[in-house]
Structure 1
Amino acid sequence: MNKLNFFRQSLFSALILVSASQAIAQVKPFSFDHLPEVKETKFKKDTIRITSFGAINDGVTLNTKSINDAIAACNKKGGGVVVIPAGLWLTGPVVLLSNVNLHLQKNAILQFTKDFSQYQLVKGDWEGIPQMRNQSPVSADHAENIAITGFGIIDGNGDAWRMVKKDKLTESQWNKLVASGGTVIAEKKMWYPSEQSAKGSLLKNAGAIAPEKTPEFYASVKDFLRPNLVVLNSCKRVLLEGVTFQNSPAWNLHPLICEDLIVRNVYAKNPWYAANGDGIDIESCKNVLVEGSTFDVGDDGICIKSGRDAEGRKRGLPTKNVIIRNSTVYHAHGGVVIGSEMSGGANNIFIYDCSFIGTDIGLRFKTTRGRGGVVEAIYAKDIVMKDIVGEAILFDMYYAAVDPIALKGEKRDAPRVVKYPVTEETPIFRDFHISNVVCDGAGKAIFIRGLPELNISDIYLDNMTIQAKSGIEIQEAKNVQQNNVKVILSSDKK
């Protein structure tokens, strides 16, 4: 960048900050010296193989009973390791029990059936609200000291469950999909795998639990109520290590109200067009470590949540004491994300030594009116980004439940700015510390958009070099401090 253009860009950024009542000052120091402690799992060495309970490796035999019987036997004898040997093992839902480590050996594939009758309708949680869902392929409820480890693959057969947007496929891919069966709703430009699935999509909150809804009603839209691949509810001391989790019907990994969770060296993988195909959604959990892991998915990569709207505030359990480090996110709507269902709050989140490559947005913090909740004490440093489609760093309190990048031909209008009274439904974003960021290519460097009635506040940005098509935009924010923040516009690159 020549000196004149550098001056113009520096002045442009400064003018934006001043017009939004910002300050450019020395960044408030913070430290990663005292990170949260996360308790480890520990298992007996006793080993049980699923073949001892009749499991057959032929890709045809349904091994649901054999696998669950092995887990139950291991639990009954005080715990240990349940081994899934190399091979293709077809199964229905698997339920983990306390003190059991489900271990997949190298070249083991745990393949979940596309026979939906194997998945019972159960009370669950969807996007922060209690709902009826199909039983998750892998689940645990109020278990302690559990693990899924090894070198194999857990495949959720998600293509059998998911709807697909026409605009996300090429013409030939779309024609092939339609020819395979299912139902198309033309006005929505959407393909559904069954008529039941399409019917459910036309109803508002089809899975919501309500006294007037009968078992017959839920059965009539069962195909639409897609499960998350792995749901761990109210569990303590959990380890997910080494395994590939892929092709999920909805979210990939969903720890809910868990304590002492370690996610290490896992690979979460979904097609880029996978609707709701998040990598991991850490919801209302405390004491969490995510490290050495890779995410390449259809929605948000690593996401922090804590319930939605009134239900989330009623639960009142923030996600807190979280470490995310040494991990990589490829395709995803966001690399590390907080929200939008964050009504219980989030705090004490530490993100460092992470890379985002080809991600829609790098660091993404999103919410909207109605959520309530407080997000604060968020720390991120030593972040590397490359080829970010949208914003390298984004704060947005007008989240509208749409993909972050508009599809070709899609028109979006900016939200109308209206000041509302501050209530318990007003979300609060404050106290963010982001430093040592290098980004080689982004649509926009930094975007901050708060609410007029309650601004985003106390954002500290330090030591950044961001190459982007456009610079910094700030609306309805206060006390945004910058130190050594450099934005190099694409037009200025030699």
Structure 2
Amino acid sequence: MVAFIYFTAILFTVTASDIYDVTKFGADHTGSKPCTEAIQRAINEAARNYGGIVYFPHGQYLSGAVELKSNITLDFADKVVLRFLDDPKEYPPLEETIPNGNKITLPFTPLIRAFGHSNITIRGNAMLDGHGETWWARMPPPSTRPVFLQIFWVRNLLLEDITVKSSPMYNVNLKNCDDVVIKRIKIRNPANYVDPGPNTDGININSCKRVHITGVNISTGDDCIALDSNIERNTRIPTVDVLIENSHMYAGHGGVSIGSVTAGGLRNVTVRNCIFNGTNRGLFIKSRRGRGGLVEDISYHDITMVDLRKEGIAIATIYNGSDAGLHNRDFHWEPVNERTPFIRNIEFKNIQGDSVLNPIFIVGLPESSIKNITFANVQIKSKFDIFLNNTKNIVINGNVH
């Protein structure tokens, strides 16, 4: 089970006229005054000319919400700092018409957004600071706050080398995107068991196809990487062909999590050559009755998990958002319907580490057993035993359970 990822880049010869220096449009590079309008003017002018490079020379910049468009590259000089204002007036409610004709309404305009475009790049050794500390104090959970990078219905996306810091809410949030490469980015938010950095998922991938994540380094207040899938207009939109590799996760609810939104289905996902250091759980697949969907053909291999605060590897179709719910045993059989989740054909190979709770924890539903799960050379040290309930054909280091 290996995900094959293809990314088609649109190549063109860059001339001086294709480079749009934001300071030439009035942006202040000292960070002393907002330059939202200047940045957006540069983006709009590049888009009017069928695309180009929107360039940030060395310096510091202060901005509100900006919108990216097709064939735009945000290119940051080395060590640029782009700070976002924390005034809610900069991020008013937003209504967008999506490609299928439906409208979506967001309570806040994202800090950086793109809807229904193609060929977008954000690159450079730059710090993008969302000033989330003010938002977390002002609007603690369950409040919704602005997303940092919200990119929906985009084809051909590249995020490279940037650091995203202190997002008000989700850091990188992708939905219905195809042909995505995310390489060498860093995400930094406080762990929410130390300081309040709530709902700051690192990278969310929802109903996307052909995604390659490599060399990322994430420490955050929710899942480091989360994969989901949805139903739209009664059509399942799956997440398929995802490769996550060569990455390091620190604080977070899960190193790599699948679900709990599984309605559209997820398949052909590979996670390899990663280190999880201090996350709550290492690898977590979660769903529940009412979510539905099929999760299958998932491969995890060559992973080290150190100082995990809860279970090492967890798979559950009884997830309700709480640890108490995850460990509930009072489940009775119900008829299978389109809202029943199914999980099968998962492979774990060459995984080592330690966890505070169960090294392997798998709980299915009476009507939907979790089945065909293989563990080969998996060694996770723990005071607790392996726990299995409502499972079929679980093979752990050669032994069938």
**TM-score (norm: length of structure 2):** 0.91
Alignment of 1:268 with 2:187, yes or no, is: yes
Match of 1:294 among 212, 217, 221: 217
Q: How many residues align?
A: 387
The higher radius of gyration belongs to 1
Match of 2:87 among 115, 122, 127: 115
Contact 1:464 1:484 in 2 (8 A): no
Match of 1:372 among 288, 292, 317: 292
Matches within 5 A, 1:72-471: 72-123=44-95, 132-162=106-136, 193=138, 197=139, 224-273=143-192, 274-307=197-230, 311=231, 314-402=234-322, 414-471=328-385
| CA offsets 1:288-336 (integer angstroms, 9 cap, x no match) | 00001111000001110113xxx56834111101010001110110001
SS of 1:470's partner is: coil
Contact 1:330 1:358 in 2 (8 A): yes
Q: CA deviation at 1:35?
A: 2.1
The corresponding residue for 1:474 is 388
Contact 1:119 1:136 in 2 (8 A): yes
Q: CA deviation at 1:79?
A: 1.9
Change (3 A) 1:312 1:376: farther
144-153 vs 98-107, which moves further: 98-107
AA at the equivalent of 1:303 = A
Residues of 2 paired with 1:461 and 1:277: CA distance? Answer: 31
Contact 1:43 1:100 in 2 (8 A): no
Identity of aligned residues (%): 33
The corresponding residue for 2:9 is 40
Contact 1:44 1:80 in 2 (8 A): no
Residues of 2 paired with 1:401 and 1:130: CA distance? Answer: 25
AA at the equivalent of 2:147 = N
Change (3 A) 1:51 1:143: same
Richer in helix (by share): 1
Contact 1:145 1:238 in 2 (8 A): yes
Contact 1:313 1:372 in 2 (8 A): no
AA at the equivalent of 1:103 = D
Relative CO higher for 1 or 2, CA cutoff 8 Å, sep ≥ 6?
Answer: 1
| CA offsets 1:161-186 (integer angstroms, 9 cap, x no match) | 225xxxxxxxxxxxxxxxxxxxxxxx
Q: CA deviation at 1:412?
A: 8.9
SS of 1:134's partner is: coil
Change (3 A) 1:269 1:41: farther
Residues of 1 paired with 2:281 and 2:66: CA distance? Answer: 34
Q: CA deviation at 1:415?
A: 4.6
Richer in strand (by share): 2
The corresponding residue for 1:4 is none
Residues of 1 paired with 2:249 and 2:56: CA distance? Answer: 28
Residues of 2 paired with 1:392 and 1:271: CA distance? Answer: 22
What residue ranges of structure 2 are gaps of 5+ in the alignment?
A: 98-102
| CA offsets 1:83-117 (integer angstroms, 9 cap, x no match) | 11222211011111111110122221111111111
SS of 1:161's partner is: helix
388-397 vs 433-442, which moves further: 433-442
Contact 1:43 1:81 in 2 (8 A): no
AA at the equivalent of 1:77 = N
Q: CA deviation at 1:44?
A: 4.3
Q: CA deviation at 1:378?
A: 0.6
Residues of 1 paired with 2:161 and 2:353: CA distance? Answer: 29
Contact 2:91 2:146 in 1 (8 A): no
Q: CA deviation at 1:40?
A: 3.2
SS of 2:107's partner is: strand
Change (3 A) 1:296 1:241: same
SS of 2:234's partner is: helix
Q: CA deviation at 1:130?
A: 5.6
| CA offsets 1:260-294 (integer angstroms, 9 cap, x no match) | 00000000111112111110000100000000111
Q: CA deviation at 1:131?
A: 5.0
**TM-score (norm: length of structure 1):** 0.75
AA at the equivalent of 2:336 = V
Change (3 A) 1:348 1:313: farther
Contact 1:82 1:102 in 2 (8 A): yes
Residues of 1 paired with 2:246 and 2:283: CA distance? Answer: 15
SS of 2:359's partner is: strand
Residues of 2 paired with 1:71 and 1:350: CA distance? Answer: 36
Change (3 A) 1:413 1:448: closer
Contact 1:43 1:99 in 2 (8 A): no
The corresponding residue for 2:25 is 53
Contact 1:419 1:452 in 2 (8 A): yes
Kindly report the root-mean-square deviation, in angstroms, between the aligned alpha carbons of the 2 structures. 2.2
SS of 2:33's partner is: coil
- Which contiguous aligned blocks of 4+ residues in structure 1 show a shift greater than 4 angstroms? none
